[in-house]
Amino acid sequence: MSITIKTEKQINKMRRAGALLANTEALLAKAVVPGITTAYLDQLAEEYIRSHGGVPSFKGYGGFPATLCTSVNEEIIHGIPGSRVLKEGDILSIDMGCILEGYHGDMARTYAVGEISPEAKKLIAVTKESFFEGITFAKEGNHLNDVGTAIQKYVEKNGFSVVREFVGHGIGTNMHEPPEIPNFKTLTQGIRLQKGMTLAIEPMVNMGDYKIRTLKDGWTVVTKDGTLAAHYENTILITDGDPEILTLPR
């Protein structure tokens, strides 16, 4: 397993890619309201990314047909944008990536569509908070398993479960690079983290059981028990101190 340690020049390119994604996310966050379609959000994101010199990295990746993954309610990841109209009380996970100057950014958020239930609000909050619990251990010298263990512990303490079949990943000139980054405790410590590593850490959290299934479209992954799911992701940089989140507006 070869993990690329990024130079400062490469990191600056990843910062710019991350900032473009973060600005796209800010645009989408305002647009998520009852009555719109997921296809509308996809078009909005693609136009914004391309107009700022980027390329949507999901579109065509492995045959995926869109710029965004739009996953509604029990859909965990890889939902395909289309004619579905969002309604009051839905929750929507948007996963997105872009390439700028040859480097990738990757991030995900889960949004409330209008007013949602208290349970759904808690799920979204815990998913986000679990990311920040995890990255407190994303420091030079710690092991990868420290991150996943912290995420799982926080999620389960709050009564939810962590998806096992899909994990985070390294990122750079490719969308998916080594290492894989589980959001749960593993039997081994995993790699030792080093300054200059860039990682996409992305808890996927189910309200009920962690088991999943994939729909007939071959892409959309849903909770097996039909309960709600949420997703939160950022691209981060390992430093000699606290990690730097690269997918932030600049």
2: in domain: no
pLDDT band of 166, cuts 50, 70, 90: very high
Question: What was the pLDDT predicted at 2?
Answer: 85
Q: pLDDT tens-digit profile of 77-112?
A: 999 999 999 999 999 999 999 999 999 999 999 999
- State how many domains the chain has: 1
pLDDT band of 1, cuts 50, 70, 90: low
- The predicted model gives 134-158 an average pLDDT of 98
Nearest to 99 by CA among 11, 202, 13: 13
47: in domain: yes
Percent share of the chain, pLDDT over 90: 98
Question: What was the pLDDT predicted at 222?
Answer: 98
194: in domain: yes
Q: pLDDT tens-digit profile of 188-238?
A: 999 999 999 999 999 999 999 999 999 999 999 999 999 999 999 999 999
Instruction: Tell me the three-class secondary structure of 41-96, residue by residue.
Output: HHHHHHHHHHHCCCEECCCCHHHCCCCEEEEECCEEECCCCCCCECCCCCEEEEEE
* pLDDT above 80 (res 144): yes
Question: How many Cα neighbours within 13 Å face the side chain of 237?
Answer: 23
* Domain of residue 171, residue span: 8-245
Mean pLDDT of the chain: 97
3: in domain: no
Question: What was the pLDDT predicted at 169?
Answer: 98
Could you tell me the CATH number of the domain that includes residue 202?
3.90.230.10
1: in domain: no
125: in domain: yes
**Which pair of structure tokens corresponds to residue 95?**
């996963």
Residues 131, 110: contact at Cβ < 8 Å?
no
CA distance 107 to 250: 15
Residue with tokens 């759904």: 120
Question: What was the pLDDT predicted at 250?
Answer: 80
Q: pLDDT tens-digit profile of 11-39?
A: 999 999 999 999 999 999 999 999 999 99
